[in-house]
Amino acid sequence: MGQIVTLITLLVLTGCASDEREWMKLSEKYTIAEFRRDHAACSKAGKLDDACMRERGWVAVSPSGKPETPKDPLARDIGGGGRRGY
């Protein structure tokens, strides 16, 4: 029950920002104070640094409730829009 209240409060807090995404940790419990601390530490000149938030374990969630899909930094785009060599 406490985690639900925390999540709702977090959603309200992040809903006031210009960025429509919400942030949560999927694999661990957290408090509003932890979110505020990390959000403040990752904000520079009024802009949130997404990489900083991810490094601290946060995942961005769209207003529809779907978490972003983390990209594999070693993956290559092989879908090709470029020229083919044949």
Tell whether pTM > 0.85: no
- Has residue 68 been placed in a domain? no
| Band (27; pLDDT cuts 50, 70, 90) | confident
Q: Which residues span the domain enclosing 29? A: 2-61
H/E run at residue 14: helix 2-15
Domain count, the chain: 1
Q: Which amino acid is it at 8?
A: I
- Has residue 50 been placed in a domain? yes
Q: 17 by DSSP, 3-state: which?
A: coil
| Band (1; pLDDT cuts 50, 70, 90) | low
Give the residue among 1, 46, 12 at the shortest CA–CA distance from 23: 12
pLDDT digits (tens, 9 = 90+) for 33-57: 999 999 999 999 989 999 999 999 9
| Alpha-carbon Rg for the chain in angstroms | 17
